[in-house]
Each structure stands twice: as structure tokens, then as C-alpha cells.
Structure 1
Amino acid sequence: MKLQAGHKTLLVLAVLLTAVVLCTLPFRVLKQETLYVYTKGQFSSAEAGFIDELKRLGFAVKLNVKELPKPQTAALWLDTPNAMEEMKKSQAEVNFIYTTAYYPLPLAGQTKALVVLTPYRELYEHYVRFNQKTALFSLGINLKDFYNKEDKKIYTALYYGDNNKVFPYAEALKQKKDIRFMGNFWPASFEALQPKTQKQKADILNQTDIVIVYNDPASPQSKTIPTELAEAAGCATLVFSTPNSAVSKLYGNTVITYDTLPDLEEKLAYYLNNRGKTKHISRALQKITIEKYSSAVTAKRFKEILSWLKQNAL
């Protein structure tokens, strides 16, 4: 069958366009955003999940390389102790320092294009007052490690946290046979569970009906989302927590708040006798974690922050 002149023209154009697309593919790969990421030694589950999601979003991640960040790239220091000194040598277009330390960074004389990422609203507001580029930011939770597996429940209730000698109800709860403890540095008499891997920790959380966390009012943890709480939420476990404004803002009433030991004991009894309600709330808790506090969400937000900065010529 012969092609008419018009059809021949369209066919030639289609071939040419295909050739152009194929020729430009290598250049598209070269335009991938390069991001230098520095961590302190063995990185945490949250850091690992965040880095994996950055790669999934298309970043060419250079992780803990010895070379300094080059021009036309971005650099991110994740809770590294010497971030400020290392950042001063960076040639990156944009530099980010994420720190969970509850004190302001020494920014006097700082001339680099720097954005400070902090999980603390007070520090965020401090940087804003001093005209320092900043963002209220957390790494979120790695749902590849902490997710619901529908495991059979073995533990009725579990206090999750290290023995930092501030949990006022530890001795009282130890007397109850249906409450266990998980964390480090507990006396032998507590027979605390001490998982060695993230998988073991997630398995225990999945096998628990209710996880109890405590926010020491004197600790910075009480001003942000505790890691223990987020990990339990990812596993769709019902969580009890002392008052925490950051937790309330994110999770609302899907985290059960307790104020005193009698209050805790009363609410434990109520929810253990109402398993249907417990499961419904824990599912809602997990849904919020997936949609608002997972590594996928936080990595996407980081990319949006970087794009905005570049568009607005930081």
C-alpha cells in the first residue's frame, strides 16, 4: 500500500521526533539532582528510610563520600557533630543541616547558602527571628522497618523507652504481670526486652496490644514526636503517651493521653476490655503515620523545599 504525501510527511516527523527523544535521554540522566548526604557512622532506621526515598525520588545520592560537595549540587548533613565546620568547605549550591540537638547552631559569620532543618518549633522560630533560612522538619519513620504484620498478640502492654530514670511509674508497673518493658539500661529485675535488630523490635511491637511512652517534660523529646511513639504507630499498635503538643498536633486523639498513674491504669483497663475500639484507633493512628510522617512523605517535602529554594534564588 502506498502512502499519500501527507502521511509520508507525518511519518518522517514521527521518526525525527523519536530520534530526538532517544538522543536526549543521556542528557536527561545527567541532569539528575546530585545530593551529598553525610551521616554519623551507622545510620538509623529513620535515616536509612529517608535516604532510600530520596533515591526513589530521583536524587543521585552520594553517601558519606570523602570528596567535598561540588558546585551545582546540594548537600545534607544528618545529625553529624562537625556539620558546621564541614559545611564551610562545601561548594554546593544549597547546604542543609538537619539536627536534633536542642540548642541553636553557631551561625555568626556564616556566609554559605545554608538551611537549618529542625524538629523543634522553638528553634525554628529562633532562626526565623535571626533571618536564617530554616524549616520545621523531621525525618519521619521508615515503614520498611515498622509496619503492621497482623501478628498474634503476645504482650498485653509494653513500656517502650530506655531507663533514663525519669519514668515515675516504672516500679509500680513492674508489679503488674501483664506489662513488659523494652529498651536499654533497665535493671535485671525488670527483665526488659532488648531486641538486637530493627526487625526484632518491629516484631515485638506487632505482637503488643498497647505501647506506653513517657515524655519527660524536661527533655527536648517532649517537644517533638518521640521515635518510640512513631515506630509503634507504624506497626498499628495503640499508643499511650503523656501530654505532648507535637504529638497532639499530628495525631489528635488517636494517641491516648494519660497524666497520672491512676489515669494510666484506668485507661489501660478500658481499652483492653474494648478490643474493637482499640483496633479501630490503632488503624487510624497507622494511617496518619503513613500519610503524614513516613519517610516517603518527608523525603518528598525535602525535595519541595530544595526546589522552592532554587526557584527563589537562595
Structure 2
Amino acid sequence: MIKRKYWTKKVLPVMMCAALLMTNPVSAEAATAAERNAYQAVFDADYYRSAYPDVAAAFGNNKAALFNHFVNYGLREGRSCSADFNPQAYRAKYADLQQAFGDDMAAYCRHYVTCGKAEGRDGGGTGSASAATVTDAATTDTATVQGNVIGTCTTEYDATVPRAVNVELAAARINGVVVQPGKSFSFSSTILPRTSANGYVVAPIYISGTVGTGTGGGVCQVSSTLYAAMLHAGLPATERYPHSLPVIYLPAGYDAAIAGTSKDLKFTNTFSQPLLIQASASGGTLTVTLTLQ
């Protein structure tokens, strides 16, 4: 679970391991090679091909191309690189690692290989490839147990300003939505157009790197909180855009901007069971939880 406000700053349990992973800075060119080595250590080409039919259709059994796709696209999209490990989910799950490594995704991979696995940490993977794709086969993987919470995130907002109206309205509109296996979800469509007729009010928004105002300002906190829960669950987005400025309620890389019809947060339920979205926003606390039914 991610709870931004209460993330601990006491990272002593991982500092020795962090020191091993992050000392001896290297040049940008060498760092690229080092990062690829870190990703290669956790990457399973056979799993990646089986888990993601879109990638398999594009690259077949070409393991080098599969690996390059993960490095260039899959990592950013939140895809698992093996049955046991999803770098984005691993980062989202452990606040001590977030404090130690920030946005250095290669460091999370190194930590899991050198320390995390031995410590018994959950790598955030989806289990077998069949658990990550739509299938009728029964499985005992914990991510597909009926009624199992697979991802959750909590963020804080100011409940005393007009923006809170939009946060709470958007949360209410995604709450209770069930996405069937193989079906897609669109955040923008679900919360309806951001107009006064649909209950939204004027609040601050980001516009091309500047702060302005617009009807529906604040709904992006709900989409971002949902996206962070998706990362925790190892559920990749099929469409997602970062904000043009940093957000204050989540770290970089966890946000999901919504803008008219041009920017949306979408995903496909790749699990074999219906996926329930639960969202609540009240008193300045927003929580989004994903549960397999």
C-alpha cells in the first residue's frame, strides 16, 4: 500500500544494501550499460512473451527484441519482467526502498536480486504467465484468489477547497466499477466529461507546464491514485500520460494526467477474474483499491 503522507524516512534497514548498489558513480554511457545489466538479471523473455500477447505478436521469439521492448517501453508501462518480479510494483510496495532509490529503477532490480529476494520481499510479479493473461485455466497464484486485494493506494487532498468537489465526484464515479477479464477500462469515459452540468467545478489545473484553472481540476489525483494502485498490482496501463509539472501527492512516475479527450488512463483486465475498483474520498483522504472477485 502506498500512503504518501506517512512514508517513513527511517531507511536504515536498507542503507547497507543501498550503499552497495549506488556507490561508485559511472558516466552516462556506462550507466546505460549498467542499467541494462540490472534489467537483464531480472528479465525472463519466455515469460514476457507469454504474458503479453501484443508484444509476442510484434516480436515473436526474438529474445533481444523482447528485452529491448521491456527496457524502452514495458518498464515504463508497469509490465512484469518475470513471474516473480515487477519493478514498478516492487517500488510501490516498499517505502524504505523508495527513500533509498527514488526513481532509479535499475537499483530496485539490483536490490531484489542481491537483497530483496533473500529477505523474503514480494517482487510484485503476477505469478505464471497464465495469471497475467486472460485464461480459463484454474490457478492457485495468490494474485488470482477470489476476493483478493491486489493493489491499493492512498493519497491526501485539501478537503476545504473547491478542488475537493472534483476529487470526491471522480472517486464516486469509478467506485464499484467491475472490469471483466479481457475488457478495457477508460478513466475519462467513466467519470464523464468535466463540465458543470456533470457536477464539476473550476479548480487549478496544469496547462503545458504552467498552473491555470479549469473545470474538473483535481480529477487527475484520482486517476493518479488509481494508476499507483495498478502499479502495485502489476497491472500495466494501455494508455497513460505524465503531468507537465510534478504533483505533490505522489512521487514522479506514479501520476496519470487526464485532459479532455486527448489524455486518458486506460487498462485491460489481464487477469482471469473480474476486477473490482473501489474508491473513496472523504475528509482529505483518497483511497483506491483493486480487488479480484
**TM-score, with normalisation over the residues of structure 1?**
0.28
* Higher Cα Rg, which structure: 1
If asked which structure has higher relative contact order (CA below 8 Å, sep 6+), I would say 2
**TM-score, with normalisation over the residues of structure 2?**
0.29
